[in-house]
A and B are shown apart, each in its own frame.
Chain A
Amino acid sequence: MNKKSPEIPERLPLPYGSCLDRNTRIHFRFEGEPCEGFGGDTLSTALWASGARVLGRSFKYHRPRGVFSLSGIDANVLVEDSDTTNIRGDRTPVHEGMDVRAVNTLGGVRRDLLRVLGRLEAFTPVGFYYKAFHTPRSLYPLYESMLRRLGGLGRVNAAKPIEHTAKRYAFCDVLVVGAGASGMAAAVAASARGARVLLVGNDLHRGGCLRYHKAQDPKVLETLARLESQLAGQPLIEWRASTTAVSHDADLWVALDDAKTLTKVQARAVVYATGCYEQPAVFRNNDLPGVMLLGAAQRLVHEYAVRPCEAAVVFAARLESYEAALDLSRAGVAVRAIVDPGVTVLPEALAEALASAQIPIRTKTCVYEAIPLSGEGGVAAAVICALDPQGVPQPESAEPIPCDGVLLGVAQTPADALLRQAGACMRYDATQEQFVPEQLPERVYAVGSVNGVHDLDARIADGRAAGEAVAISLGFSSGPAPSRPARTQTRQSHPYPIFPHSKGHECLDLDEDLMLKDVQRAVAEGFDRVELLKRYSAFGMGPSQGKHSNLNVLRVLARLRGETLEGHRAPTARPYVQPVPLSHLAGRIFTPRLRTTIHRWHEAHGAEFTWVGAWLRPKYYRVQGRTEEQCIADEATAARCCVGLIDVGTLGKIEVSGPDAALFLEYMNTGRYADLPPGKAGYGLMCDESGVVINDGIIARLSEEQFYVTTTTTGADAIFLEMRRNALSWKHRVTLVHATHQFGAVSVAGPASRALLAGLVKIDMGEDAFPHMAVRSAEIAGVPVWMLRVGFAGKLGYEVHMPASGALQVWSALMEAGAECGARPCGVEAQRLLRLDMGHFLIGQDTDALTHPYEIGMGWTVKMDKPFFIGQRSLRILSGKPRERQLVGFVLSLPGEGNRPAENHLIIREGRMAGRITSIGRSPALGRTVGLAYVEPDQTTPGTELFIRSHNGGMVSATVAHPPFVGEAMVLSEKERSFKSETVATQTEKTHAASAAGGSASVLALCDVSAIPKWGLAGPGATDWLRAKGIAVPEGIYQWRHLKEDAGRIVRLPHDEFFIEDSPGGGHVAALRAAYTDNAPGCHAVERQDYALLVCGDLVAELMAQSCGVDFSKPHEVAVMTRVAGVNVLALQTRETQALRLWCARSAAVYLWDALAEIVHDLSGAVADLDHARPWL
């Protein structure tokens, strides 16, 4: 630490130091040394107060840097602690025990050994890296690692544990960005007319520059007090301190970032009151510690009671800068001179006050150079010199003035990045000599100095008028929009505060160590357009995003091109306007994961899980002493020789009913269903318009007008939506219900499957009574089921479908009954082997984006004599064309086993690619490796030899064979017969994690209320049927009513559907279920097995804000279908904003619970059981 004296300098007395809490002393460490500050200090102010001057090192040359703007428009003070890097010292409050060091130094900030790089400056001109480090290519990695270490910012601690931060939504009528005078006035005016206003400010306190510019002037104090009291009287204003608006996105979404969280605000109108950034003067060594913007000096004095320096030279080109100089001199800073590059006309009183303070004023003079203090501690003197009439410094008149601070007040520029992101154009105003906004997009406003209105009273009037105009445009009040004050008609900035020095080193961009000569050279090399120049010289590409450099670089560029600034534009303002931690952008990562209701059983029985789409499925079940491959083979063998149970609850399931149901399915699929009798099932293959296969499944006719359709696991959602759309555009009278999550399904496969099921059901399972592709209803273990006889995994097999809540019961019953004959649970891997044995293709695995039915031997499903189906016309064309490829089965040759190929290995024929393998696996039943592959059409004859390029280019051969590879007549060995599965204990489904809250959930409680019975009814006849049962049916979509006085509820959903939930123990749903019969006209009973949650407490809205894009902080009279944590839900407020019911797919229950419970935990809420929740139901 380079302290001026061993004693820490005293702070200025009260009333200076408005941010400080002088009763709290904070102890922290900087660069390993103990430091002290007050409560309210930022890291930079505490260090500056202690006398430290070198607080950071520059990015490229490692030059010493200190406090410059103190407002976040420079990146001089960047520090890191053990966990976090690139902490901005100017904006980070000190806290007890803080231990930080400057980033990017070698040996500490004071003695940074890398400062030697500054000596190389002459050899590293602009573009140096591009020119020097591209050849030879082989050395590039070396260059890269070296340069990254030398340049660059902090180091990332990769070992830091991942911490999910909230990412929230917020909603308001009017967002006001900037809490200075104009922003406060706008917020007050808008909210006084009834608008919900969100007011955000960068700083902890409101007031903007009123807090530090002439902060003790009675008029300023009075103005701020008046604005504060007006604000306090407006309950509709929500204030967010220390929050920065970082991007403006489409449709008035604005991202706000604070220390912890990114908030996405949806506003109906946005008012930007972002003010202006002070801009530096450019002269030799203008980046030394001690050279700072006047605003920073004023903040240090008024907010932190810190004298910025003992003796100052004030470089002023604005009236406000003269006022500031006087202010500083009153605070005890010896102002050695005010240096003005022009002549500023001063009001008489100010001129007199400056004279009586004995502050000399030097007009038409510039600061030509800052002389560094030896030992790199700061400034020793300012060299000033006269300017000729063209504004060029005259070095012969140079005169040093000893001082330890050079304070810059020559120019400013509007903080317009967000306005420009919103679509505003900025025009250079030659009167003000700075940019002003033009052509604001709808519902975007600019007020105050960002709008070119600079006088204090005018700024407030501008804010007020804009606030009223917003309220009128949003319909909160009427009348003509009030007129806005005119823009200021005086010069606000010096037009060219750039003063070249013969020895150079006039810094334009502090972040990038970009000097005046760099820009001159880049322009000379032809990079003479602003966007080109930016990319070549890197100006504005540092953490400050050009906030202190864009304008000066533009001025230099325009002058070099011999132009004025009119017509010039700053480079594109991209999000985010200040660095946002990646963790804030990531937020909590919501990736819904689905589990079947049998999941717990799988977990308890050694299942290894794998992801199939969003589903978690058992890959195989671990058995002691067997390898993974052996386990999979054992499972497949059991299913082949005896019986295997596969949890296929993940299959898509869609109910189609109505008079046009059969017609609709014929339109959707290639096959024919009109003549399918009830009780029979058909194969369904779907194509898109180009004839490409997109889905397959079983279509079971349950009754004349009712079908039960299965789809692939991953295709379910898309197919259902596509069905909905087609039903609309074809005007078919069908009722569609997406039942995937309402039903569980178990595949019972193998020669013993019939015997196993026969022992559990009361229906006739005989070959004639229950033939292949038949569907029967039955009951297993008290659960009503649909049984489909299908042969996907083997010749004999059944799919058993049941309401999801009964799946585990059925599964357990099957496992128990099957234990004797050796039934085994089979995972996905075994299932894939089993279907490969049968030669069945899988959509997406064996088909690709070009596969049509004829290529995969599915031509038999294509019924061309139907009037229409999707893809029919394309298939008609394709059917007349020669095939290009054909999917065939193959058996790998025995020598090939030594180098077994994998999926996507190529079939080679006469040196060319003839096809590829799509599936391959070792069949335990056959003892051989079999697979499916695309081959050329003349290679399909069984016995044809195929050559496959396997691993490492080795060629192996295989023989084409017609599936199924495995016949039914498998002779079971004695060993296999005696094969027993492990004993299975019957499990009941556990509700997870719903531990009692112990009554402590006053703030927020989450409760699983899935046990309450639910039911649904869909179809055009549903309303009449319900009315006939005495139920008051809600009229509009999403409206809801109680079933019986205050008990249960019925919600009308889109598509003629109703959702009904009982009250606990009400018995209403059971009565409705019993009353419903299958032939109720125009009705379709909907199994509702949804997962149900109750969220209650004061923080419900906050929980939803962190997980959902709908505003639940205001009351919703109707139900809402939306997405919470990535899961589709039906949401219903039951007590204004204090209690919310959520229903979602049962499969997403564990995921949604975990996701919400994590947020609840972070909000210090609790999980509750049903008894605690009862009052809220």
Chain B
Amino acid sequence: MKQILCPVNGLRPLQEFQYGGALRDRPDPNTCSDEAWADYVFNRAGAPGVQREWWCHVPSAVWFVAERDTLNDVFLRTYLYEEMPDRE
């Protein structure tokens, strides 16, 4: 069983968490083509590598971002969405 470091609650066993999918850039729904939108809605890359993911500590309803190496299933870093580096 894995342990995940929640930025608010600390290190907890995996059962206390829920996975919320990869963090993805949404195309502008008002300007993008139907094809680009459909690609965003239905397709996932699935290629192994380091990706940013949404995770939620369910008992406290705290969402945060995890950088996870999906090839080796290793959590590299976790931080709150508000504190995400190099974004905006």
Report which B residues bind A (CB closer than 8 A).
1-3, 8-9, 12-13, 15-16, 18, 20, 29-30, 34, 37-38, 40-42, 54, 56-63, 73, 81-82
Contacts and interface: CB of A to CB of B under 8 A. Distances in A.
Contacts of B12: 1109-1110, 1122
Given A690-B42, A873-B29, A873-B37, A266 B60 contact: no
Nearest to B58: A1128
Most buried by B among A729, A873, A1054: A873
A633 B76 CA distance: 59
A720 B61 contact: yes
B61 A738 contact: yes
Interface string A1012-1030: 0000000000000000000
A249 interface: yes
Contacts, number: 73
A253 B1 CA distance: 6
Contact of A1129 (B13, B54, B59): B59
Most buried by A among B9, B58, B59: B59
Contact of A874 (B41, B58, B81, B82): B41
A1053 B59 CA distance: 11
B73 A1054 contact: no
Contacts of B38: 877
Contacts of A250: 1-2, 73
23 contacts: A249-B1, A250-B2, A250-B73, A253-B1, A253-B3, A264-B1, A689-B40, A690-B42, A720-B61, A721-B56, A724-B63, A725-B54, A728-B81, A872-B29, A873-B29, A874-B37, A1037-B8, A1053-B60, A1054-B60, A1054-B61, A1109-B16, A1120-B9, A1122-B59
A720 B2 CA distance: 25
Contact of A1055 (B13, B18, B56, B61): B61
Contact of B81 (A690, A729, A1037, A1123): A729
Nearest to B56: A721
Contacts of B37: 873-874, 877
A601 interface: no
Contacts of B13: 266, 1109
A266 B3 contact: yes
Contact of B61 (A721, A1122, A1129): A721
Interface of A: 249-251, 253, 264, 266, 689-690, 720-721, 724-725, 728-729, 738, 868, 872-874, 877, 1037, 1053-1055, 1109-1110, 1120-1123, 1128-1129
A1039 B60 CA distance: 14
B52 to A, nearest CB: 12
Contacts of B41: 689-690, 874
Contacts of B18: 721
Would you list the 5 A-B pairs with minimal beta carbon distance, nearest first? A873-B29, A1109-B13, A1128-B59, A1121-B60, A1121-B59
Given A1054-B60, A1055-B61, A1122 B16 contact: yes
Contacts of A264: 1
Contacts of A728: 63, 81-82
A738 B8 CA distance: 19
B58 A721 contact: yes
Contacts of B29: 868, 872-873
A1122 B38 CA distance: 38
Contacts of B9: 1120-1122
A1122 B57 CA distance: 9
B82 to A, nearest CB: 7
Contacts of A266: 3, 13
Contacts of A1053: 60
A1123 B16 contact: yes
A828 B9 CA distance: 39
A1122 B17 CA distance: 10
A267 to B, nearest CB: 11
Given A721-B18, A1122-B12, 16 more contacts: A250-B2, A251-B1, A266-B13, A721-B63, A725-B20, A725-B63, A728-B63, A738-B61, A872-B29, A874-B41, A877-B38, A1053-B60, A1110-B12, A1121-B9, A1128-B58, A1129-B59
Most buried by B among A253, A264, A1055, A1122: A1122
Contacts of A868: 29
Nearest to A1144: B59
A934 to B, nearest CB: 22
Nearest to B1: A253
A729 B3 CA distance: 25
Contacts of B1: 249-251, 253, 264
B3 A251 contact: yes
Most buried by A among B2, B13, B20, B37: B13
Contacts of A872: 29
B15 to A, nearest CB: 7
B40 to A, nearest CB: 8
A728 B42 CA distance: 23
A1054 B15 contact: no
B33 to A, nearest CB: 10
A1054 B61 CA distance: 8
A1109 B61 CA distance: 17
A872 B2 CA distance: 37
Contacts of A1054: 8, 60-62
A689 B63 CA distance: 19
Nearest to B26: A689
A276 B81 CA distance: 50
B51 to A, nearest CB: 17
Nearest to B88: A731
A655 to B, nearest CB: 14
Nearest to B40: A689
Contacts of B57: 1121
Contacts of B81: 728-729
A664 to B, nearest CB: 15
A275 B48 CA distance: 38
Contacts of A1120: 9
Contacts of A1128: 58-59
B62 to A, nearest CB: 5
A1121 B18 CA distance: 15
Contacts of A874: 37, 41
A251 B60 CA distance: 23
Most buried by A among B40, B57, B60, B82: B60
A393 B20 CA distance: 65
Contacts of B40: 689
Contacts of B56: 721, 724-725
Contact of A877 (B15, B20, B34): B34
Contacts of B63: 721, 724-725, 728
A190 B63 CA distance: 37
A1123 B59 contact: yes
B27 to A, nearest CB: 9
A872 B29 CA distance: 8
A1053 B20 CA distance: 22
A1128 B30 CA distance: 40
Contacts of B61: 720-721, 724, 738, 1054-1055
A1055 B57 CA distance: 13
A689 B26 CA distance: 10
Contacts of A1129: 59
A689 B41 CA distance: 6
Nearest to A1053: B60
B3 to A, nearest CB: 4
Contacts of B60: 1053-1054, 1121
B13 to A, nearest CB: 4
A251 B8 contact: no
A1121 B58 CA distance: 9
A881 to B, nearest CB: 10
A1122 B11 CA distance: 11
A1051 to B, nearest CB: 12
Contacts of B20: 725
A1120 B57 CA distance: 12
Nearest to A728: B81
A690 to B, nearest CB: 5
